[in-house]
Structure 1
């Protein structure tokens, strides 16, 4: 007899066996402190219905092979974990206690979700995030993709968690079975939504026990909403270095397309617009795509958005009085220091003077980068990739020959892109771009520049301070002013399409 399909989502209380691939992948990565904190959270009164441990009353008969004696009550188990939190020890001690002792019968979907979120908070650079912008659509014929923030009070929809989750489930339930957990982080101004995608027409525990044989199938998708910001960050929950298959990306796209529909109502429709910004750092996302950062005021303009002045920045007037007082106090301290020198050979003063050229380069770097691009600010971008769309400089004598060569190179570039394996790059020229290039007077080569490192813009700032890069002639996109990680450059500026800077 065939089992009828159900139209329910996976509840918090459904359990996975401790030997399940998702459980064994997530829990061993957590630290001892995080494991103890999670166990105490699961044992609180509000979570006991879907985080039930194995207690003494659940034991049917005496088992001589038990490694851990089951606790008599929730209070006794809470006391055990308070004792574990108060003393030092290894991570394995707490991990074995959880998986082989107190939750030996299985880990609930709520426990797995909170464990993955805890790992994300402990390692904010573990996943690669893509920023999208939630924009309002006045009508179906003219979608609004303007990056500028307006004074319209209806620019952002009201975020009510229960209503949003209900609307999201209505969109996704006919397509897939999923487990949802949305939580607001106390230590950071963000709200996290985790969606565990279950590739099955059933939502019972028996279907969850069946483990997938594919090692590259990412089942969990994370979405982050910064408080008071029109942006949404999305990422696949994968292992470090794991290759995400097409199925995982397709399922993520389905969930991503359902998010603006869950926000929409009959009088207001929304869509997610690409911002050409991808990074592994959540702190960098909050800096470039966080609350009040939607106008791409980065680079040298960061002094205005970070409130670096004690007064209105438009009324700021530079004075030389402070510099004179600092110099006078410095000379006075040096004089006092020399008078207190002891007998014997005088100490050789440290030579901290900088050459005028070095001072000048640092002043130029401070003017171009402002308060941003500091080596240890925790806001580093790992990769910046641009395509140069400027025509190759040529003389009037060989302009005709250059134009012919340009047509041939564009054809060769198209053939090379078709022969290349893997997913196409966002920097690949579209048919419209190729048509625009053919109308140019000169040859436009396919030149791409990639900066890669732990903190790209901090590295460029150091190159300016060392005199390797001319800070006065350097284009603005090299300072991060455009606020994108991938884009096309024309005449020294990041190009924009439909109001969105990038490609």
Structure 2
């Protein structure tokens, strides 16, 4: 008979990672996350963890936790506190005085939470860094749309309630359904929290590539340095859109495994919302940016239509009159402003005894003033340099046919361009394929047409793309009157195809839908 072993056997389980599981303070994810936070954020997080509602899974190392066998170390830098209330007073004193970030970081990792950082603490630390640096991650906007049922009748001009198209967001039910979809595929830790300062709800998913959900398996740090473990999803309040991003660190290249894990979670989200009578899906909106403010502007509450560019005056209520009477009201405001300026100038000449005050000469020429007014009409209230809503990259593909010259029209041109449109667009391209690469159907369609459509792409890149285009219009570099509408950002997308002066998505549908 074989002797009994005292070692405990670990078997795969079907549980999620709870909030109370701890990571060692020397873990790579802990060191990376806490090293990026500021002093103020670290103190705010410590005070949040010490609240009564969070003490069950954020318990610090207290004096009562010291074993009797463990003698007090002479080189112990931080003496354990006797209670959580005492720690709260300590961190209040640290917040009231000045100091360095390293002081707070060492006290948290080497003192008050020396036994490990819980999964809840790590999640709140990553969310705090995201709120402190809203431009640190690259976000992709998806639209939560209902899959049409073939059995139900669909009318072209049917007017229905919006509640019939979007599901109600109930956190407990959604998390239960999402966990049921992902648990057979991976072990994960979930944290769903509502942000008070911004109109949105954040879901953080920490992906643990292991069949075990124990603290021992979490402590094993055998992943590659480029592997991303956290995925963020944001739901704007009252909006059909979902933002997704991978929590990568500075200089970290996201591997294909990280994108694959993000896609798995992304596919499970509409399934968690679905029910037998209503099925949902996440549709692409061709909108990607690093700015959360730009996301809320273009894909936020009440921004499901493409009301950008010059149409932004109707979107942000820049005037109090009726939108249908916009031109009349603008002319009236212009006449009123002109009359007020004449009265002011007349009053300035007659004001005070002696010589009249000399008014400052207007250095702006009539041509520059006209260009500024054209830019204001094309861009409206959008595309301001310091509005905090900048898009870093805007890429389009021109699908218009190449204009035929006179020689080709008369049949005297011997150049054969029949096979140029049939060539794949990514023939000599390296790296990941672009979303603007033509599909096989599009290549076949271009091959059947008589005209030649070259693969021409335009990429605008910078800190604020459309603000830069607006400045070029004001300086006269770009003709604001002949400029197409997609150059003003009114399509509300960051990637698309242009044909006959109008931007379309890859499938030829309305942009952003």
Match 1:448 to one of 437, 441, 457: 457
CA distance in structure 1 between the aligned counterparts of 2:430 and 2:150, rounded to whole angstroms: 36
Question: Which SS does the other structure have where 1:134 is aligned?
Answer: strand
Change (3 A) 1:481 1:6: same
Mapping of 1:10-25 within 5 angstroms? 10-25=17-32
- Does the 8 A contact of 1:190 with 1:227 survive in 2? yes
- Does the 8 A contact of 2:284 with 2:512 survive in 1? no
Question: Which SS does the other structure have where 1:222 is aligned?
Answer: strand
Change (3 A) 1:5 1:141: farther
2:5 aligns with none
Q: How many residues align?
A: 493
Change (3 A) 1:4 1:334: farther
1:372 aligns with 382
Q: How many Å apart are 1:407 and its aligned residue?
A: 3.1
CA distance in structure 1 between the aligned counterparts of 2:141 and 2:41, rounded to whole angstroms: 28
Match 1:467 to one of 473, 476, 491: 476
1:387 aligns with 397
CA distance in structure 2 between the aligned counterparts of 1:502 and 1:253, rounded to whole angstroms: 20
Mapping of 1:1-150 within 5 angstroms? 3-60=10-67, 61=70, 62-139=72-149
Question: Which SS does the other structure have where 1:398 is aligned?
Answer: helix
1:322 aligns with 2:325: no
- Does the 8 A contact of 1:402 with 1:442 survive in 2? no
Match 1:332 to one of 337, 341, 347: 347
Change (3 A) 1:165 1:498: farther
- Does the 8 A contact of 1:495 with 1:502 survive in 2? no
Q: How many Å apart are 1:56 and its aligned residue?
A: 0.6
- Does the 8 A contact of 2:42 with 2:105 survive in 1? yes
Per-residue CA distance 1:328-383 (angstroms, 9 max, x = gap)? 22443466489699xxxx9x864334211111111111111010000110000000
Q: How many Å apart are 1:153 and its aligned residue?
A: 2.8
Question: Which SS does the other structure have where 2:480 is aligned?
Answer: coil
2:420 aligns with 409
Mapping of 1:121-270 within 5 angstroms? 121-139=131-149, 151-270=161-280
Question: Which SS does the other structure have where 2:419 is aligned?
Answer: helix
**Which runs of 5 or more structure 1 residues have no equivalent in the other structure?**
none
CA distance in structure 2 between the aligned counterparts of 1:247 and 1:339, rounded to whole angstroms: 81
CA distance in structure 2 between the aligned counterparts of 1:37 and 1:149, rounded to whole angstroms: 48
Per-residue CA distance 1:69-95 (angstroms, 9 max, x = gap)? 111101100000000111111111111
Q: How many Å apart are 1:59 and its aligned residue?
A: 1.4
Mapping of 1:279-294 within 5 angstroms? 279-294=289-304
CA distance in structure 2 between the aligned counterparts of 1:404 and 1:150, rounded to whole angstroms: 56
Change (3 A) 1:474 1:150: farther
- Does the 8 A contact of 2:397 with 2:458 survive in 1? yes
Question: Which SS does the other structure have where 2:407 is aligned?
Answer: coil
Question: Which SS does the other structure have where 1:494 is aligned?
Answer: strand
Per-residue CA distance 1:406-429 (angstroms, 9 max, x = gap)? 333235x42x72453321100111
Comparing 211-220 and 119-128, the one that deviates more: 211-220
Match 1:308 to one of 312, 318, 321: 318
- Does the 8 A contact of 2:134 with 2:291 survive in 1? yes
Q: How many Å apart are 1:395 and its aligned residue?
A: 2.7
CA distance in structure 2 between the aligned counterparts of 1:134 and 1:402, rounded to whole angstroms: 51
- Does the 8 A contact of 1:494 with 1:502 survive in 2? no
RMSD: 2.4
- Does the 8 A contact of 2:491 with 2:503 survive in 1? yes
- Does the 8 A contact of 1:406 with 1:443 survive in 2? yes
Question: Which SS does the other structure have where 2:496 is aligned?
Answer: strand
Change (3 A) 1:432 1:339: farther
Q: How many Å apart are 1:171 and its aligned residue?
A: 0.2
Comparing 353-362 and 296-305, the one that deviates more: 353-362
Q: How many Å apart are 1:206 and its aligned residue?
A: 0.4
Q: Runs of at least 4 residues of structure 1 off by over 6 A?
A: 400-404
